[in-house]
Structure 1
Amino acid sequence: MSDSASTSSRVRRAYEDFLSGITPADDSVRSVVRDSWARSIQRGVDPGDVVPESDTTSMSATEFAEYRDAHPITAVRPLVQSLMLDDIADSGVVVALTDQAGRLLWVEGATDARDRAADINFVEGSMWSEEIVGTNAPGLALAVDRGVQVVGPEHFAGAVQEWSCAAAPVHDPITGHVIGVIDVTGGREVAAPFALAAVRSVVAAVERELHSRAVDLADPSTFVAESGARLTVLGGSYRWRRAGDGSPERALSRRHAEILLLLQAYPEGLNTEQLAVMLAEDGVDPVTVRAEISRLRRDLGADVVESRPYRLTVALVSDVSEIRDRVAGGGDLSAVIEVLGRGGLLAESSAPGVAEVFEELREDLRSRIIAEGDVGALRKWTSSAHGRDDLAAWRRLERRLPPGHPDRPVVGGRIRLLDKRYGV
Structure 2
Amino acid sequence: MDASTTASASALRGAHERFVTAPEAAQGVRSLVAESWRRCAATGVRPDGGRLPPLPRSSAELVAYRRTHPLAAVLPLFRELLGADVADDGHVFAVGDADGTLLWVEGDSAAVRRAERMHFAEGAVWSEEQAGTNAPGTALELGRPVQIVAGEHYSSAVHAWSCAAALIREPGTGRVLGVVDLSGGGTIATPPALAAVRAAALAAEGELARALPGPVTLLGRDGRSLCASADGRDGVVRLSALGRDSAVLEYGGRVHRLSPRHSELVVALALEGRGVAGDRLAVDLSEREVPASTLRAEMTRLRAVLGPALLGSRPYALLHPVRTDFAEVAGLLAEGRVGEALARYPGPLLPRSDAPVVVEQRRALEQQLRGAVLGGGDAGLLRRWVDTARGAHDAAAWLALAHRLPGGSAQRAAAAARAHALDAAVAVPPQVGRHAAVLQRSRS
Alignment TM-score, normalising by the size of structure 1: 0.48
Larger radius of gyration: 2
